[in-house]
C-alpha cells in the first residue's frame, strides 16, 4: 500500500504540475525552488537550531505514529487514510526533486533520516491495521476478545518504534543538514538503517518464533 500510494503521488505530479503545490503548499514549493536556484536545494534542513529541530521532529513523528495506530480502531479506515496521505506526500516530494534532476541527490540526503522514519511510520500503520483487522475479522472470538488480543500484540510494535523515531529525529536534526557529506557516508547510513529495520522486524522475529514454536 505504501509503495502504491507513493506511485500515485509521483504519477499525479507528473500528469499535473499544479498537484505539487496542492499537496506541499505554495510556501514550501517556493522556498525549495529558491534554494535550488541558490545552489542549496536542501537548505530547509539548515534553517533551525539542531536541538530544537531534533526535539520538534521526534515529538511530531511519535505523535503521528501513535495516531496512525489508534485510528486503526475505525476498522482500519483511519490508518489507511493517514498512510495514503503521508505516502502521497512523499511521492510528490520526490517527484519535485527528480523533475529538477536532483532525484538521486535527494535520496542520498533525505533518506539519511528517512530510511528509519518512513519504515517506522509504515510499521506503525501495520499495527493500526492489526487493530482494524481484529474488529473486522474476529474469527471464532467475540469482537472484544479479538480486539483485546490484537491490542496486546500491536502495542508492543508501536512502543518499540519510539526509540527508532528518536534516532531518526537525531539524524534529521544533526546529520541531514550536512548535505555535502561524502557519498560513501550517506550510503553507509542508509544501508545500515535499512539493514537494522530488516533484521529487527523481519529476521529476528522469525528466529524467535522458530525457537518458541520449533
Q: pLDDT tens digits for 49-106?
A: 899 999 999 999 999 999 999 999 999 999 999 999 999 999 999 999 999 999 899 9
**Burial letters 161-176, b for 16+ CB under 10 A, else e:** beebbbbbbbbbbebb
User: Does residue 24 surpass a pLDDT of 90?
Assistant: yes
pLDDT at 96: 93
The torsion of the CA quartet 206, 147, 73, 62, rounded to 10 degrees, works out to -50
- pLDDT digits 0-9 by tens, 187-212: 999 999 999 999 999 999 999 988 88
- pLDDT digits 0-9 by tens, 103-148: 899 999 999 999 999 999 999 999 999 999 999 999 899 999 999 9
Our measurement of the distance from residue 64's CA atom to the centroid of its chain's CA atoms, rounded to an integer in Å, reads: 10
What burial class does residue 56 get, using C-beta atoms within 10 Å of its C-beta: 0-12 exposed, 13-18 middle, 19+ buried?
Answer: middle
Q: What ranges make up the beta strands (E) of 29-146?
A: none
Amino acid at each position: 500500500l505504501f509503495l502504491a500510494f507513493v506511485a500515485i503521488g509521483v504519477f499525479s505530479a507528473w500528469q499535473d504540475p499544479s498537484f505539487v503545490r496542492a499537496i506541499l503548499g505554495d510556501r514550501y514549493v517556493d522556498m525549495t525552488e529558491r534554494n535550488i536556484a541558490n545552489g542549496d536545494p536542501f537548505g530547509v534542513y539548515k534553517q533551525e537550531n539542531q536541538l530544537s529541530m531534533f526535539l520538534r521532529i521526534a515529538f511530531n513523528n511519535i505523535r503521528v505514529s501513535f495516531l496512525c495506530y489508534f485510528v486503526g480502531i475505525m476498522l482500519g479506515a483511519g490508518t489507511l487514510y493517514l498512510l495514503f496521505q503521508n505516502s502521497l506526500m512523499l511521492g510528490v516530494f520526490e517527484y519535485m526533486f527528480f523533475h529538477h534532476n536532483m532525484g538521486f541527490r535527494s535520496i542520498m540526503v533525505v533518506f539519511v533520516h528517512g530510511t528509519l522514519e518512513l519504515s517506522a511510520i509504515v510499521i506503525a500503520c501495520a499495527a493500526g491495521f492489526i487493530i482494524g483487522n481484529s474488529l473486522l475479522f474476529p474469527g471464532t472470538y467475540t469482537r472484544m476478545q479479538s480486539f483485546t488480543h490484537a491490542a496486546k500484540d500491536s502495542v508492543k510494535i508501536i512502543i518499540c518504534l519510539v526509540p527508532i523515531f528518536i534516532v531518526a529525529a537525531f539524524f534529521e536534526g544533526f546529520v541531514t543538514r550536512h548535505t555535502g557529506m561524502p557519498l560513501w557516508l550517506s550510503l553507509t547510513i542508509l544501508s545500515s538503517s535499512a539493514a537494522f529495520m530488516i533484521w529487527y522486524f523481519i529476521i529476528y522475529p522469525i528466529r524467535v518464533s522458530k525457537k518458541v514454536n520449533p
